[in-house]
């Protein structure tokens, strides 16, 4: 809507000097789009910034600012993150589940991606299909079906942290597969074939050529999976058993529905920091190793399913 | 009689209302014998069976007494139930030592048991290296489901309402209690509930909190004199503020209120016409006011998010936990319609139960005993949960005078006489329960 | 693959067996029935009839959900496209920074973002106070008291990044040379957009609509946090509420079946188009 009106307005009214600018930069008014760009970023990030800010509020309110304080992080004797065992535990559980999800999903996803790459037979299509189906299905459906699964036929697993992990793994595998596969596609088979021409067995070629080259992709998928499972809500809530299985996302939800307190903003902010650190690290590592191995970003993006 | 002089209620002093703490100490007294007898007689109620066509006693493998309609006896005031203790579910033996290094897991409503009391328990039994872990459920249905889904996980459950006890006991989810570990039940709790109709001899339960169900409102936003109305329930139908009204989020309380308003006293009825009428009445409130279904009145009303809320009296007390120190909440009012002549109202109590297959049953018993300690119960009531404990050490008639409860909120207090005369929400036969739940779901669907 | 079989395919069958199963007589809890020959379809027909008849329990919620999601999808597109366009074509040297800032919400907790809005939209929140200060309203506006448009905006806020991502990828793919060529041939910026850019992003738009829209069908928590009244309940709410009451679990399971049936068309479209696109790319 806005780009269209902008271009129409531009086409109607401007001539001369501006026209020369148009020649060099022929699509839409940059200034207007900059407004759009900045407005979007502000609109997306400002509420989160306020939520983080209120975690430092000196009173209990999450809407009225009364001054800066570390009360909800350390000093409040009962309800700060430091002193409230439930909050602390939620932080630990979130980190535990996210790490576990990475450990489950990345190896499986890697294996899956390699298999899909090599296996040209009839099964590969349906395997890929099933995986993508699980990717696009709304999370609630997956969560409820696993919930019923663990309560009835798989009662020996039951609910709780192990099943939360399995559920998160289910959600995360497609991400690993997609990222690794896109990298595989851009790498092509030449390097592996070259290795085998030089006498390596397929397994050796895999281990010594392909896997190292996939390093950045593996790392990137690990980082992305970590960041998004850290905040997962629907799946972990459905499969939780006791208070010990509560994560930060569940704690925020519970508090938002009963009695919001800045302490909950505080644990949310801590998770924010954790995710940001992980993603920034991943980005730096990916960029550095990708530059070193000379891969092309564009080729990777070509292979993404969007 | 002497007011008992306290040592500090709790060294950590979570009390946020200094005058209430002082007053609680002064309010310790023994109720008169007359009050006890009045509560015991409770003959003023009419009671009928829970909608079962057969109406016969539910004597069967699970217990004796009650009325029929389900696979297990349904307790009624005039048909008390004694639950069986099967051979494979015997209470633990007396005189055992507490378990070492155990993690005691309990289920509870939010903001219902003071963390200070929990910590004090851990300290008292520190030599057994006990850790206590809490799991919160958002409402009774959620609690039952959590217990059902993980029957071997928990040790104690608080706040179990009477109308779910039958299915829990018959479902083999609870363990009978050995009262040798819980002397505080006999010593401290109202004699009238020591062998209640729903669990004679307190075989599986001990009482926890008592309350009445009424109306909480912001008197600076709602100008109606609710206490003065001929039928106080009418305020929801006639003067309720749009977008600022809320009802309790379960079928029994919401439909029950519509029934009380219509003069129906049997809120355990299985009569489809009554249930249907109640459903339409509540649907009327919802469409007129866009009412929400919640029980977070303890923050919503002080915050101004809701101005008129169907409430449990204890939630008024809970609100104080979230208010600044010393605030007497003059803008919050509460009234129990049952106080008005000729208008029925709900009173109820809930229970603490012992979960079967507990890994630390001795500690579980001791935990229950600890919570029933007179001082702990009073602390929990006055400084945290706001729910009145049926302790002999609390004289309801003196709570206002001793400034435990502000005078304008006196309606939150449940006297023994009111407790005997109010109408209870009791367990329903499954087909009747299905009717209630369907009606409630239809309200939720806006139909 | 085994993992997927166990945790994805099998649970679907579990849902079928619960939806078509019986109820335990004592506790009225669901009993699974595995044998398709003994399936009881009464609950499913109950559910379907309650969806299709205008006074059915789920009828209003289904229509409402589709309406909310449709409006949200359109809004996501209207907001997301210009930003994606900006990101792909204009951010220039700041592109990396903007990309990072754009990606940020992906890894910020959805819950935290909703909590932020609750804080802002409460009666004492900044939005109300600002509106009162500038005199637009007299008393605090009850944003969180069950307003459909607040819920829709919440959904948009939550899922718009999912719209931008495929749009960005699609827009980025269009080589500069094409647009310059169009300009050279005398097309105005508007025509360039409509005739060159937009058609090539059609695939991306559809992908974005699906990736952003599908999760909204399973959303229940946005409603619970931002609106939470009877008049705004979505399908997801009914599914989740049904699980709370043991006798209604089969209803919840059948709701899921209906939901899957309805969503299977866009899901299949998405899967086919990505598979096609993958095959079309040079390996």
The answer to whether the CB of C211 falls within 8 A of the CB of C222 is no
Which of C116, A240, A255, A182 has its CA nearest to residue B107?
A240
Q: Which residues of C touch B294 (CB under 8 A)?
A: 228
* A156 burial type by CB count under 10 A (0-12 exposed, 13-18 middle, 19+ buried): exposed
Question: Which pLDDT score is estimated for C29?
Answer: 62
Question: Which pLDDT score is estimated for B48?
Answer: 35
Nearest-Cα distance to chain A for C249, in Å, is 9
Q: Residue-wise over A205-219: b if at least 16 C-beta within 10 A, else e?
A: bbeebbeebbebbbb
Cα B227 to Cα B343: distance, rounded to the nearest angstrom: 12
User: Higher confidence at residue B1 or residue A139?
Assistant: A139
Mean pLDDT, rounded, for A22-26:
47
B149 interface with A at CB cutoff 8 Å = yes
Helical residues (DSSP H) of chain A, grouped into ranges = 2-13, 17-24, 30-54, 85-118, 122-136, 139-151, 161-187, 190-197, 202-205, 211-230, 234-238, 248-257, 262-293, 297-302
Question: Which pLDDT score is estimated for C5?
Answer: 63
C188 interface with B at CB cutoff 8 Å = no
Mean pLDDT, rounded, for A275-286:
81
Question: Which pLDDT score is estimated for A124?
Answer: 66
The answer to whether the CB of C119 falls within 8 A of the CB of A50 is yes
Mean of the per-residue pLDDT values of chain A: 79
CA distances from B410 to A35, A118, B333, C30 (A): 59, 77, 9, 45
Q: Picking from B72-76, C12-16, C62-66, which range would have the lowest pLDDT averaged per residue?
A: C12-16
Whole-structure pTM value:
0.83
The answer to whether the CB of A219 falls within 8 A of the CB of A286 is yes
Cα B250 to Cα B293: distance, rounded to the nearest angstrom: 8
Q: Domain map of chain A by residue range? A: 2-54, 81-302
In this prediction, residue A123 has a pLDDT band, given cuts at 50, 70 and 90, of low
Per cent of chain A over pLDDT 90 is 15
Option in B72, B433, B447 nearest C57 (CB): B447
Question: Which pLDDT score is estimated for B29?
Answer: 36
Question: Which pLDDT score is estimated for C256?
Answer: 87
Question: Which pLDDT score is estimated for A291?
Answer: 67
C46 is written with which tokens? Answer: 């109950």
Q: Which residues of B touch A243 (CB under 8 A)?
A: 105, 133-136
Count of other CB atoms within 10 angstroms of residue A281: 12
Question: Which pLDDT score is estimated for A75?
Answer: 84
Question: Which pLDDT score is estimated for A12?
Answer: 42
A86 to chain B: closest CA residue: B134
Question: Which pLDDT score is estimated for C35?
Answer: 65
In this prediction, residue A85 has a pLDDT band, given cuts at 50, 70 and 90, of confident
Q: Which fold has domain A81-302?
A: MetI-like fold (1.10.3720)
B366 is written with which tokens? Answer: 């001791």
Q: Quick check: helix, strand or coil at residue B94?
A: coil
C7 pLDDT more than 80: no
φ, ψ for residue C50, nearest 5 deg: -75, -15
Per cent of chain C over pLDDT 90 is 15
Option in C55, C122, C245 nearest B447 (CB): C55
**Residue A71: half-sphere exposure toward Cβ, Cα within 13 Å:** 18
DSSP B377-428: HHHHIIIII-PBP-BTTB-GGGTTTTTSS-GGGGGG---HHHHHHSBP----
Strands B308-312, B205-218: pairing kind: antiparallel
Q: What is the pLDDT of residues C254-275, one digit of tens each?
A: 888 888 888 888 888 888 877 7
Option in B134, B138, B150 nearest A241 (CB): B150
User: Higher confidence at residue A44 or residue B109?
Assistant: B109
In this prediction, residue A185 has a pLDDT band, given cuts at 50, 70 and 90, of confident
In this prediction, residue A1 has a pLDDT band, given cuts at 50, 70 and 90, of very low
Q: Quick check: helix, strand or coil at residue C155?
A: helix
CA distances from B387 to B66, B209, B312, B314 (A): 28, 6, 9, 4
Residues 1-20 of chain B whose Cβ lies under 8 A from any Cβ of chain A = 12, 14
Nearest-Cα distance to chain A for C15, in Å, is 6
Cβ–Cβ gap B290/C229 under 8 Å: yes
User: Higher confidence at residue A151 or residue B342?
Assistant: B342
B443 interface with C at CB cutoff 8 Å = yes
Question: Which pLDDT score is estimated for B51?
Answer: 36
Option in A2, A44, A231 nearest C109 (CB): A231
B445 interface with C at CB cutoff 8 Å = yes
Question: Which pLDDT score is estimated for B105?
Answer: 95
The answer to whether the CB of A134 falls within 8 A of the CB of C4 is yes
Q: Which residues of B touch A159 (CB under 8 A)?
A: 149-150
Mean pLDDT, rounded, for A70-94:
87
Cβ–Cβ gap C271/A129 under 8 Å: yes
B246 to chain C: closest CA residue: C229
Option in C27, C122, C146 nearest B243 (CB): C146
Q: What is the pLDDT along chain B (447 residues), one digit of tens a residue?
A: 333 333 333 333 333 444 334 433 333 333 333 333 333 333 333 333 333 334 445 557 899 998 988 889 999 999 999 999 999 999 999 999 999 999 999 999 999 999 999 999 999 999 999 999 999 998 898 999 999 888 889 999 999 999 999 999 998 999 999 999 999 999 999 999 999 999 999 999 999 999 999 999 999 999 999 999 999 999 999 989 999 999 999 999 999 999 999 999 999 999 999 999 999 999 999 999 999 998 889 988 988 889 999 999 999 988 888 887 777 888 999 999 999 988 999 999 999 999 999 999 999 999 999 999 999 999 999 889 999 999 998 888 888 888 888 888 989 999 888 898 889 999 999 889 989 999 999 999 887
Count of other CB atoms within 10 angstroms of residue B377: 25
CB proximity list for B10: less than 8 A, separation 6 or greater: B116, B117, B120, B379
Nearest-Cα distance to chain A for B310, in Å, is 16
Q: What is the pLDDT of residues A153-183, one digit of tens each?
A: 777 777 889 989 988 988 898 888 888 888 8
In this prediction, residue A96 has a pLDDT band, given cuts at 50, 70 and 90, of very high
A217 pLDDT more than 80: yes
Q: Which residues of A touch C120 (CB under 8 A)?
A: 47, 50, 63
C235 pLDDT more than 60: yes
């Amino acid at each position: 809507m806005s780009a269209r009106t902008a271009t129409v307005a531009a086409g109607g009214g401007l001539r001369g000097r501006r026209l020369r600018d148009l020649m060099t930069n022929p699509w839409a008014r940059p200034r207007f789009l900059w407004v759009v760009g900045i407005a979007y970023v502000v609109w997306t990030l400002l509420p989160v910034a306020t939520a983080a800010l209120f975690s430092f509020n000196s009173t209990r309110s999450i809407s009225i600012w009364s001054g800066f304080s570390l009360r909800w992080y350390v000093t409040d004797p009962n309800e700060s993150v430091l002193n409230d065992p439930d909050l602390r535990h939620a932080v630990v559980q979130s980190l535990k589940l996210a790490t576990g999800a990475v450990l489950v999903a990345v190896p499986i996803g890697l294996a899956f991606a390699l298999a899909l790459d090599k296996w040209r037979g009839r099964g590969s299509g349906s395997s890929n299909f099933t995986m993508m189906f699980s990717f696009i299905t709304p999370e609630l459906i997956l969560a409820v079906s696993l919930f019923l699964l663990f309560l009835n036929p798989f009662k020996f697993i039951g609910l709780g942290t192990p099943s939360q992990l399995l559920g998160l793994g289910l959600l995360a595998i497609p991400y690993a597969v997609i990222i690794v596969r896109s990298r595989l596609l851009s790498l092509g088979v030449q390097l592996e074939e070259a290795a085998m021409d030089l006498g390596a067995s397929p397994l050796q070629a895999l281990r010594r050529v392909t896997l190292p080259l996939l390093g950045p992709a593996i790392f990137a998928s690990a980082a992305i999976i970590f960041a998004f499972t850290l905040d997962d809500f629907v799946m972990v809530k459905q499969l939780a058993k006791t208070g010990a299985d509560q994560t930060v996302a569940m704690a925020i939800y519970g508090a938002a529905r009963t009695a919001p307190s800045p302490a909950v903003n505080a644990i949310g902010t801590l998770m924010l920091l954790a995710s940001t650190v992980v993603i920034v690290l991943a980005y730096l590592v990916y960029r550095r190793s990708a530059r070193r191995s000379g891969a092309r970003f564009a080729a990777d993006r070509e292979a993404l399913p969007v | 009689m002497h007011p008992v002089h306290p040592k500090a209620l709790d060294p950590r002093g979570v009390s946020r209302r200094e005058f209430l703490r002082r007053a609680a100490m002064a309010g310790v007294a023994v109720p008169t014998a007359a009050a006890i007898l009045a509560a015991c007689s409770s003959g003023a109620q009419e009671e009928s069976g829970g909608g079962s066509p057969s109406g016969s006693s539910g004597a069967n493998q699970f217990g004796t007494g009650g009325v029929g309609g389900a696979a297990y006896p349904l307790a009624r005031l005039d048909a008390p139930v004694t639950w069986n203790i099967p051979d494979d579910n015997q209470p633990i033996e007396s005189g055992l030592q507490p378990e070492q290094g155990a993690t005691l897991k309990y289920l509870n409503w939010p903001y219902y048991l003071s963390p200070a009391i929990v910590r004090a328990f851990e300290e008292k039994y520190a030599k057994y290296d006990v850790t206590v872990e809490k799991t919160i459920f958002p409402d009774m249905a959620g609690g039952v489901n959590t217990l059902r889904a993980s029957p071997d996980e928990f040790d104690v459950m608080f706040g179990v309402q009477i109308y779910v006890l039958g299915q829990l006991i018959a479902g083999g989810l609870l363990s009978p209690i050995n009262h040798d570990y819980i002397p505080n039940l006999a010593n401290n709790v109202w004699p009238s509930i020591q062998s209640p109709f729903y669990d004679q001899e307190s075989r599986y339960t001990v009482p926890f909190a008592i309350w009445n169900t009424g109306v909480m409102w912001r008197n600076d936003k709602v100008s109606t004199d609710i206490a003065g109305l001929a039928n106080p329930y009418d305020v929801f139908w006639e003067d309720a503020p749009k977008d600022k009204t809320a009802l309790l989020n379960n079928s029994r309380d919401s439909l029950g209120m519509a029934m009380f308003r219509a003069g129906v006293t049997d809120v355990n009825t299985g009569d489809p016409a009554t249930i249907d009428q109640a459903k339409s009445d509540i649907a009327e409130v919802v469409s007129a006011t866009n009412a929400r279904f919640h029980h977070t009145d303890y923050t919503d009303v002080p915050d101004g998010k809701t101005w008129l809320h169907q409430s449990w009296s204890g939630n008024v007390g809970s609100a104080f936990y979230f208010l600044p120190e010393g605030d007497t909440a003059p803008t919050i009012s509460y009234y129990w319609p049952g106080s008005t002549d000729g208008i029925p109202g709900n009173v109820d109590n809930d229970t603490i139960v012992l979960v079967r297959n507990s890994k630390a049953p001795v500690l579980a018993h001791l935990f229950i005993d600890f919570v029933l300690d007179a001082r702990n119960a009073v602390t929990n009531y006055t400084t945290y949960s706001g729910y009145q404990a049926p302790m002999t050490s609390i004289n309801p008639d003196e709570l206002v005078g001793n400034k435990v409860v502000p005078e304008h909120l006196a309606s939150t207090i449940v006297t023994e006489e009111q407790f005997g005369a109010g109408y209870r929400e009791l367990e329903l036969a499954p087909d009747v329960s299905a009717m209630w739940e369907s009606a409630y779901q239809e309200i939720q669907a806006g139909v | 693959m085994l993992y997927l079989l166990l945790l994805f395919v099998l649970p679907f069958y579990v849902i079928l067996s619960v939806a078509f199963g019986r109820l335990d007589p004592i506790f009225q809890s669901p009993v699974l029935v595995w044998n398709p020959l003994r399936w009881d379809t009464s609950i499913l027909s109950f559910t379907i009839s309650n969806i299709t008849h205008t006074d059915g329990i789920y009828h209003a919620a289904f229509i409402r959900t589709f309406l909310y999601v449709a409006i949200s999808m359109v809004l996501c597109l209207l907001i997301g496209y210009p930003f994606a366009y900006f990101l792909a074509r204009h951010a220039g040297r700041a592109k990396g920074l903007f990309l990072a800032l754009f990606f940020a919400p992906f890894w910020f907790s959805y819950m935290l973002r909703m909590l932020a809005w609750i804080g802002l939209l409460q009666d004492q929140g900044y939005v109300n106070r600002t509106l009162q200060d500038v005199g637009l309203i007299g008393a605090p506006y009850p944003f969180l008291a069950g307003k459909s448009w607040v819920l829709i905006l919440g959904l948009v806020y939550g899922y718009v990044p999912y719209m931008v991502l495929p749009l960005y990828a699609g827009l980025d793919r269009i080589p500069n040379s094409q647009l310059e060529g169009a300009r050279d041939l005398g097309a105005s910026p508007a025509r360039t957009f409509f005739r060159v850019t937009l058609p090539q992003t059609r695939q991306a738009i559809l992908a974005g609509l699906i990736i952003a829209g599908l999760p909204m069908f399973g959303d229940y928590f946005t409603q619970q946090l931002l609106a939470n009244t009877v008049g705004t309940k979505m399908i997801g709410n009914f599914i989740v509420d049904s699980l709370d009451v043991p006798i209604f679990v089969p209803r919840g399971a059948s709701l899921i079946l209906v939901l899957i049936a309805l969503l299977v068309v866009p899901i299949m479209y998405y899967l086919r188009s990505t598979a096609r696109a993958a095959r079309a790319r040079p390996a």
